[in-house]
Structure 1
Amino acid sequence: MIKVFIIGAGTLGKLIVEIIESTGYFQVGGFYDDNFPQLKSVMNYPVLGKLEDVAKSNHLSLAIGIGEPKYRQSIFEELLEKGHHFPALVHSSAVLSKYSQIEDGVLIGPNSSVLTGSRVQKGTCILSHVNINQDVQIEPYCLIAAGVIIGNNAKLGEACHIGLGQRVYLNEEIAAGTFRK
C-alpha cells in the first residue's frame, strides 16, 4: 500500500481520507495542517506538522485537502518541483469510463462519474455526486462542488470553481478563474 499524506485537515481533507480508505490501494499517512501543534489528530490519523513542514519531509505521495483553486495550484506546483508526487485518488464508488483521462493529483469523490472522451487535468478536485458527461474538458486546478452536472462538450478553464449543485450546459465554455455560485 502506498501512503498518502494529506495537506489540510478540514472538510476536504476528511473527504480525502474516505476516498483513500475506499481504494484498498492507498493508505493515509497523516495530515499537515497549519493548526499544528494544537491539532494533533484527525479521524484517528496524526497531524505531523504545518504546511511549511511538507517541503522538508520525504513523503513523496501527497493529496491537497485545500479547495481554493489558486492555493491548490501554488501548493501543487511548489511541491511537485521539490520531487513530491500527487497520485490521482478516486473513490471506489465513482464511475470512470475507460475512455476518459484522469491526470495526476485529481481527486474524485463518492458517486461521481466521468464519461467517455472526457479529460480531467492535474490538480482538479471533483467532490461527491458530480456527473461529468461525454467529451468534457476540465483544465488544471478546478474545484467542482457536490451535485454539479456538466453537459457534453463543455470546457472549464484553469482554476474554475463550480459551486454546489450548479449546471454547466452542453457546449458551454467557462473562462479560467471563474467562480460560479
Structure 2
Amino acid sequence: MKEIYLLGVGKSTPVFMDLAEQCGYKIMGLYHFNEERTGETEHGVLIIGSFHDLFSRESLQGLNFLATMGDIKIRAELSEKIRMKKGFLPSLIHPTAIISRFSIIEDGVCIGAFSNIQADSHLYQDTVILSGVNISHNNTIGKACFIAGGSTIGASTIIGDFVFIGQGVLTISLKVERIGDYAYICAGSLVTKSVLQNDVVAGRPAKSIQKENL
C-alpha cells in the first residue's frame, strides 16, 4: 500500500483523509503548525510533528504529502515548500470520479466522489474539486483553485489561479470567458459573464459585491 503524510489538522482534514484512503493510500501521520499538539491523535491518526519539524529535514525525497487545510493560499505555500524539499504531492482522484482521457490533471490535484472532468480540460497544480462537481469540456482551471461540491463549470472557461468557487455554483457555457485570479464566487451563484481578478460575486445572476458584506 502506498504511504502518505498529511499537513494540517482542522475541519477539512477528515475530508482529505477519506479521499487519501479511498485512493489506496495509508496515512502515516499528521503534521500541525502547533508543536504542542505533537503526540495527540486526530480521527485516529497520530500527529507526528510540527511544520517546523517537517521542513527542518534536509530532504523529503521519496515521500508523498497532502495539504488538508481549506485556505487555498496556505495549501499552495506548503505544497511549494514540499516540492522545494523534493517531496511529492500525488493527484488524488476518487474511484467514482469520471475523468476524460483527453483531460490533463497535474500533481497535487484532488478530485472528490462522483465528479466529472470532461474532455480537453486542464487542471493545474494543487486545485481541489470536491464531490459532485461537473467540469465541462475545454476548460482551464488554474493553480490552487477550490471548487466546492455540486458546482458546474460550463464549457470553454479560463479560470485563473487561487479562485474560490462556492457550493452549488453554475457558470454558463460560452458566456463566461474568464474568471480572474483570486476571484471569489459565493455559494449558489449563477455566473453569466466573466469575473474580474480579485472580484467577489454573488446572486442569480451573479453581480459584484463588497467583501465586507460577505
User: TM-score normalized by structure 1?
Assistant: 0.92
Alpha-carbon distance between aligned partners in 2 of 1:51 and 1:144, rounded to the nearest angstrom: 26
> In structure 2, which of residues 120, 127, 130 is the aligned counterpart of residue 127 of structure 1?
130
Match of 1:177 in 2: 182
Asked whether the equivalents of residues 154 and 169 of structure 1 are also in contact (C-alpha less than 8 Å), the reply is no
Corresponding letter in the other structure for 1:12: S
Match of 2:48 in 1: 48
Which of structures 1 and 2 has the bigger CA Rg? 2
RMSD of aligned residue pairs (Cα, Å): 1.6
2:16 aligned with 1:13, yes or no? no
2:6 aligned with 1:22, yes or no? no
Alpha-carbon distance between aligned partners in 2 of 1:56 and 1:89, rounded to the nearest angstrom: 26
> In structure 1, which of residues 90, 94, 99 is the aligned counterpart of residue 93 of structure 2?
90
Corresponding letter in the other structure for 1:128: S
**CA deviation map 1:102-144 (0-9, x unaligned):** 1000011111111111111101111111111111110111011
2:79 aligned with 1:76, yes or no? yes
The offset of 1:36, in angstroms, is: 5.0
> In structure 2, which of residues 154, 160, 164 is the aligned counterpart of residue 161 of structure 1?
164
Alpha-carbon distance between aligned partners in 2 of 1:55 and 1:103, rounded to the nearest angstrom: 23
**CA deviation map 1:136-174 (0-9, x unaligned):** 110111011111110111111011011111122213210
Corresponding letter in the other structure for 2:71: E
User: TM-score normalized by structure 2?
Assistant: 0.78
Alpha-carbon distance between aligned partners in 1 of 2:112 and 2:35, rounded to the nearest angstrom: 26
The offset of 1:35, in angstroms, is: 4.5
Asked whether the equivalents of residues 37 and 47 of structure 2 are also in contact (C-alpha less than 8 Å), the reply is no
Match of 1:34 in 2: 33
Point out where structure 2 has 5 or more consecutive residues left out of the alignment.
187-214
Alpha-carbon distance between aligned partners in 2 of 1:32 and 1:38, rounded to the nearest angstrom: 9
Alpha-carbon distance between aligned partners in 2 of 1:94 and 1:36, rounded to the nearest angstrom: 36
Which structure ranks higher in relative contact order (CA pairs < 8 Å, sequence separation ≥ 6)?
Answer: 1
2:140 aligned with 1:141, yes or no? no
Point out where structure 1 has 5 or more consecutive residues left out of the alignment.
none
Could you list the structure 1 runs, at least 4 aligned residues long, displaced by more than 4 angstroms after superposition.
none
